[in-house]
């Protein structure tokens, strides 16, 4: 049997994502010996660079894990020697034929497997896929293509993109990335739930009052306004990252850990979601101000954003899953840029204890006695559970205390970046953490009518100051469902 080799071509090699995430993740995999013995990396882009220039460019963002013994710069050098550059237009047949020749040279007669990472704007996805699949796919091994969102901007465009991609690739060759699925604590969700008897039986409307999925960033669009302005926060974060977490959180127990079994369950959740109405959402946009001598810009100060843009940089939404397990439980999502902090977390608020013997110890506010499970995805990864406890002493005072699994204390080694997990899975053909086309379709069906309504009715976003906790409308939305945002209480 022939030895296999993997060639990884990063298309859009000079872009930000490639420099900041993809090459560093590939190096981290190499550094920790996760890449196959025989591999080659090609950067592909339009600019005319030499192999050396590519190496110089990517070496700036490569870092070594602290706890490694081996000399980092040696290993980096060896990695860089396996990186090459190919310059070409994205839709150029000749250029992909040339690339094919270069790949063949490097493969040196071994069984060739080829992975293409599309780190390019969506309007050139199809051109690249057409050329790569026709002229540079592996003749005898596998060919896989990783694509990054946006996968369209509504149901129709997404369906069209899927249709076009499928002219050249089979579904099992397409790896649609949602990098949140590669985050350690998101991956851990099903371990937490399905391997702990103390959680699984509680995971339903019987015991859970509401679930909150929160994403906040403490910076604005920072030069990405051009992309962001035609998508907005609902498409950028909710329709993918938060909805994916929701599906994993709420799915029924899959038959097995097999990718198809898991994704079948996720699709069922997505298809059981109630239609979103305008009343179920609040949208906001950040506005600038000056504080302590520092000036914070408005969203519309970004030169790449339209001056009168109504694009939301913040949104909160109340979603419901109309199935037996979750009937009536609000799943509240909140996502925003330019807020007071950077954080992504899942908060699970449990019901009140029926006939609580100690209710008088909580005064009139029983919500204070609610058990809450918090899964902090980032930063400072942690899982903590708020419980009620007696304050030691002769009196009877209760205290809401926390059982805290803080990753930095429990697991001292560095947590791999999401892209490391996902690239490794794509190389190994593991599809569990990638989005299948029917999941994508269901996710768009949920948000498309709402997005169209917001846009056709030109709903003006509520302005909120840069660095604040977001628009006050988000509190009213939660209150309407008897919920308090856990991150604010
Ligand atoms: C991306 C969004 O998908 O996720 C960005 O397009 C956002 O707007 C980013 O900043 C957040 O990712 P992370 O991993 O830094 O939380």
- Nearest Cα to 130, choosing from 118, 142, 113, 112? 118
What's the number of CA atoms in the CB half-sphere (13 Å) around residue 386?
A: 21
69-107 pLDDT, tens digit per residue, is 567 888 999 999 999 999 999 999 999 999 999 999 999
Ligand 1, atom nearest to 342 Cα: 16
Say yes or no to pLDDT of 174 above 60: yes
Residue 218 CA from chain centroid, whole number: 17
Which of 25, 179, 286 is the best mutation target for the ligand 1 pocket, counting ligand atoms within 8 Å of the beta carbon and taking the most? 179
Q: Which pLDDT score, from 0 to 100, does residue 466 have?
A: 97
Q: Which pLDDT score, from 0 to 100, does residue 362 have?
A: 77
Catalytic, 352? Answer: no
Residue 371's pLDDT band (cuts 50, 70, 90): very high
Residue 355's pLDDT band (cuts 50, 70, 90): confident
Give the total residue count for the chain.
489
What angle is formed at CA 473 by the lines to CA 470 and CA 476, rounded to 5 degrees? 125
104-155 pLDDT, tens digit per residue, is 999 998 999 999 999 999 999 999 999 999 999 999 999 999 999 999 999 9
What's the number of CA atoms in the CB half-sphere (13 Å) around residue 172?
A: 6
Quote the CA–CA distance of 59 and 43 in Å, as a whole number. Answer: 13
- The interface pTM score, or ipTM, of the predicted complex is 0.98
Residue nearest to ligand 1 atom 13, measured at CA: 180
Q: Find where tokens 């839709």 sit.
A: 91
Scored b (16 or more CB within 10 A) or e, 355-374 reads eeeeeeebeeeeeebbbbbb
Q: Are 276 and 449 in contact (CB under 8 A)?
A: yes
Q: Spell out which residues line ligand 1, taking CB within 6 angstroms.
A: 179, 217, 236, 344
Q: How far apart are the first and last CA of the chain?
A: 62
Q: How far is the CA of 237 from the centre of ligand 1 (A)?
A: 7
Say yes or no to pLDDT of 476 above 70: yes
What is the helix (H) or strand (E) element at residue 87, kind and residue range?
strand 83-87
Most distant pair of Cα atoms in the chain: their distance: 83
Residue nearest to ligand 1 atom 4, measured at CA: 237
Q: Which pLDDT score, from 0 to 100, does residue 488 have?
A: 85
Compute the average pLDDT of residues 17-34: 95
Q: How far is the CA of 316 from the centre of ligand 1 (A)?
A: 17
Q: Which pLDDT score, from 0 to 100, does residue 64 have?
A: 79
Say yes or no to pLDDT of 225 above 90: no
Ligand 1, atom nearest to 221 Cα: 8
What's the number of CA atoms in the CB half-sphere (13 Å) around residue 190?
A: 21
Say yes or no to pLDDT of 67 above 60: no
Say yes or no to pLDDT of 354 above 90: no
Ligand 1, atom nearest to 149 Cα: 3
Residue 480's pLDDT band (cuts 50, 70, 90): very high
Name the CA dihedral angle for 118, 124, 129, 134, rounded to a multiple of 10 degrees.
-130
Which of 236, 244, 245 is the best mutation target for the ligand 1 pocket, counting ligand atoms within 8 Å of the beta carbon and taking the most? 236
Residue nearest to ligand 1 atom 10, measured at CA: 217
Q: How far is the CA of 249 from the centre of ligand 1 (A)?
A: 20
Beta-strand relationship, 208-216 and 331-336: parallel
Residue nearest to ligand 1 atom 15, measured at CA: 217
For the chain, what is the mean pLDDT? 95
290-299 pLDDT, tens digit per residue, is 998 999 999 9
Quote the CA–CA distance of 13 and 21 in Å, as a whole number. Answer: 11
Q: How far is the CA of 454 from the centre of ligand 1 (A)?
A: 23
Q: How far is the CA of 101 from the centre of ligand 1 (A)?
A: 36
Give how far Cα 83 sits from Cα of 56, 106, 268, Å: 11, 11, 42
Give long-range contacts, CB 8 A cutoff, 24+ apart: 105-110: 106/5, 106/7, 106/40, 107/5, 107/7, 107/40, 108/5, 109/2, 110/2, 110/3, 110/4, 110/5, 110/38
Q: Which pLDDT score, from 0 to 100, does residue 169 have?
A: 97
- Nearest Cα to 13, choosing from 48, 45, 41, 52? 45
Report yes or no on whether pTM surpasses 0.90: yes
Catalytic pick among 86, 241, 475, 481: 241
151-173 pLDDT, tens digit per residue, is 999 999 999 999 999 999 999 99
Scored b (16 or more CB within 10 A) or e, 314-351 reads bbbbbbbbeeebbeebbbbbbbbbbbeeebbbbbbbbe
Compute the average pLDDT of residues 231-259: 97
Q: Tokens representing 196? A: 């702990």
């Amino acid at each position: 049997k022939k030895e296999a080799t993997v060639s990884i071509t990063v298309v859009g090699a000079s872009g930000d994502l490639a420099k900041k995430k993809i090459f560093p993740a590939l190096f981290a995999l190499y550094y920790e010996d996760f890449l196959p013995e025989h591999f080659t990396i090609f950067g592909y882009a339009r600019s005319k660079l030499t192999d050396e220039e590519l190496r110089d460019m990517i070496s700036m963002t490569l870092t070594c894990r602290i706890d490694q013994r081996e000399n980092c710069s040696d290993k980096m050098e060896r990695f860089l020697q396996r990186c090459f550059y190919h310059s070409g237009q994205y839709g150029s047949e000749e250029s992909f034929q040339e690339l094919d020749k270069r790949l063949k040279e490097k493969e040196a007669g071994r069984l060739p497997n080829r992975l293409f990472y599309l780190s390019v704007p969506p309007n050139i996805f199809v051109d690249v896929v057409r050329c790569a699949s026709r002229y540079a796919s592996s003749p005898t091994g596998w060919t896989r293509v990783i694509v990054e969102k946006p996968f369209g901007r509504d149901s129709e465009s997404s369906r069209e993109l899927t249709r076009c991609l499928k002219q050249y690739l089979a579904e099992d060759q397409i790896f649609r990335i949602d990098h949140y699925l590669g985050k350690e604590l998101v991956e851990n969700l099903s371990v937490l739930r399905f391997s702990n008897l103390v959680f699984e039986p509680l995971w339903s409307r019987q015991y859970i009052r509401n679930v909150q999925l929160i994403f906040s960033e403490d910076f604005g669009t920072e030069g990405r306004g051009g992309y962001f302005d035609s998508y907005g926060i609902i498409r950028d974060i909710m329709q993918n990252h938060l909805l994916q977490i929701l599906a994993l959180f709420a799915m029924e127990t899959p038959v097995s850990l097999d990718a198809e079994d898991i994704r079948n369950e996720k699709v069922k959740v997505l298809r059981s979601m109630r239609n979103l109405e305008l009343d179920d959402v609040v949208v906001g946009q950040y506005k600038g101000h000056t504080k302590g001598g520092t000036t914070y810009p408005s969203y519309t100060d970004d030169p790449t954003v339209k001056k009168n843009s109504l694009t939301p940089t913040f949104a909160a939404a109340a979603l419901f899953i109309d199935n037996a397990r979750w009937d009536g439980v609000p799943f509240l999502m909140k996502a925003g840029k330019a807020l007071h902090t950077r954080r992504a977390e899942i908060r699970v608020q449990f019901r009140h204890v029926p006939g609580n013997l100690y209710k008088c110890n909580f005064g009139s506010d029983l919500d204070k006695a609610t058990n809450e499970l918090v899964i902090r995805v980032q930063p400072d990864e942690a899982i903590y559970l708020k419980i009620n406890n007696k304050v030691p002493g002769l009196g009877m005072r209760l205290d809401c205390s926390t059982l805290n699994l803080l990753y930095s204390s429990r697991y001292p080694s560095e947590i791999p970046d999401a892209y490391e997990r996902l690239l490794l899975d794509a190389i190994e053909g593991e599809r569990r953490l990638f989005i299948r086309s029917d999941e994508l379709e269901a996710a768009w069906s949920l948000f498309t009518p709402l997005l169209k309504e917001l846009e056709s009715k030109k709903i003006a976003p509520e302005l909120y100051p840069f660095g604040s906790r977001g628009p006050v409308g988000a509190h009213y939305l939660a209150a309407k469902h008897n919920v308090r945002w856990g991150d604010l209480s």
